[in-house]
Structure 1
C-alpha cells in the first residue's frame, strides 16, 4: 500500500517551472520584446546585455541583446585604454520575462581615484584616470604583423580575472595589477586598441 502511494505521489508531483525570457540577437533594439525563449535547465537568469565602445568621446559601437543566461555571466566589465573605452553590462533577473527593459548605459561613470599609465603615440607614460569599477591597471602586449605593440590602461576586476582567456582570444600577453601606475614598463607604440574591445563580449560570455 505504501509503495502504491509513493508511486502515485511521484506521478503527481508538480512540474519544475521553466524560466522564460525575452530573446533578441545582439545588435537589436534595446527594447525588443518580440521573441521569447524557454531557458535550458541551468540557465536560471534572464539577461539584458549591452556593449558600448568609445573612440575618444564618440560612440563607435552600441550593441544590445537579450537572452537566458547564467548567474556568473551577470557582470559589468570595463577596459579603458584612454583612446578607446569598452563597457559590457549584463543586467539580470530571475522571473519570467523580467528582461523587458534594455541594459542601462553605465559608461558615464566618474573617476574613482585610481590612476594608470596609458599610451599616446610612441609614449606609454600618459596618466589615465580610471572610472567606475576600473580598479586595476592593465597591460596587453600584442603581436601585429610581426611587431610587438603595447596597450596600457584601466580595467575592472572581472576583466582581469579572465586574463588567460583574453590572452588566448587575442594572442597577447595580458597582465593586471592594483597599485597606482603599476603598469609601467618599456615604452612601445600603442596599436590595435580595438582588438581587445572587440573580444570583450566573447570573453565575458565564456563559461
Structure 2
C-alpha cells in the first residue's frame, strides 16, 4: 500500500514538473503556417487547432488556420453573419502533448434556417438579415474603433455568444449582447426590456 501511494505521489510530481506541449502556428502575410513546439503555461491546459474563414456570399475571401495553447472556454465552433459578410470558426481542442497537429477545414457553409436578425449598413441598423446554419441568436456589438463608436448587428451561433468573440476579432472591451427570437436585436426592444426590469425595482424603492 505504501509503495502504491509513493508511486502515485511520484507520478503526480512528475506530471506537475512537465507542462503540456502543443503545436504553435501563426500564419505569415502569405497565409503560410509552420508548426513549432511550445510549452504551455499551467493556466493553459488545452491544445487548440482552429480555422477561421470569411465569406462574402458563397465566395471564400479569407481563411486563417492557427494552433496554440489555450483554455477549454476557447473550444468553440460556429459562425457570425453580418450584412454581406459571414465569418465561421472551426475549433478542435485536446489535452495531450502535441495532439493539435491537424489543420482543420473550414466550418461548412450551411443553408438558411428561417430566422432573421437586424443588421447594419452604411445608413442604419434596420436591414433584415437571413440567418444560416445554427445561428439561432441575434447579436449587437458596440465597439470603439480608432476612437469612433461603432455598432454591428447580425446573426450568431449560441457557442460564439458564450465565449469565442476574441477569436473572431471582437476584443474584450466590446459591449456584446445576444438575444433569441426573430429580429430581437432591435434597439427599441432592448429599451423595452430595460424598462421592464426597472418597473419592479422602482416598486421596491417606493415601498421602502
Specify the TM-score bucket, using the shorter chain as the normaliser.
0.5 to 0.7
For 1:85 and 1:156, how far apart are their aligned partners in 2? 12
**Among 169, 177, 180, the residue aligned to 2:179:** 177
Contact residue 141 and residue 151 of structure 1 kept, 8 A: yes
The match for 2:43 is 42
- Distance apart, 1:75 and its partner CA: 1.0
Distance 1:77 1:18, change over 3 A: same
For 2:157 and 2:40, how far apart are their aligned partners in 1? 29
The match for 1:119 is 120
The match for 1:62 is 63
For structure 1, which runs of at least 5 residues remain unmatched after alignment? 187-207
For 1:155 and 1:113, how far apart are their aligned partners in 2? 13
Contact residue 111 and residue 129 of structure 1 kept, 8 A: yes
Distance 1:113 1:156, change over 3 A: same
Answer 1 or 2: which has greater helix percent.
2
Alignment length (residue pairs): 178
For normalisation by structure 1, the TM-score amounts to 0.66
For 1:163 and 1:64, how far apart are their aligned partners in 2? 15
- Distance apart, 1:136 and its partner CA: 0.9
**Deviations along 1:159-200, whole A, 9 cap, x unmatched?**
434699858535xx54321011112347xxxxxxxxxxxxxx
For 1:101 and 1:118, how far apart are their aligned partners in 2? 35
* SS in structure 1 at match of 2:173: helix
Contact residue 47 and residue 68 of structure 1 kept, 8 A: yes
Contact residue 77 and residue 160 of structure 2 kept, 8 A: no
Q: Which runs of 4+ in 1 moved over 6 A?
A: 143-148
139-148 vs 69-78, which moves further: 139-148
For 1:91 and 1:75, how far apart are their aligned partners in 2? 8
For structure 2, which runs of at least 5 residues remain unmatched after alignment? 189-208
Contact residue 50 and residue 64 of structure 1 kept, 8 A: yes
- 1:74 matched to 2:75? The reply is yes
For normalisation by structure 2, the TM-score amounts to 0.66
For 1:98 and 1:163, how far apart are their aligned partners in 2? 21
For 2:8 and 2:107, how far apart are their aligned partners in 1? 48
**Deviations along 1:92-114, whole A, 9 cap, x unmatched?**
12222221111231041232332
- Distance apart, 1:19 and its partner CA: 2.6
When the two chains are superposed, the root-mean-square deviation of aligned CA atoms in Å is 3.6
The match for 1:133 is 134
Distance 1:69 1:177, change over 3 A: same
The match for 1:193 is none
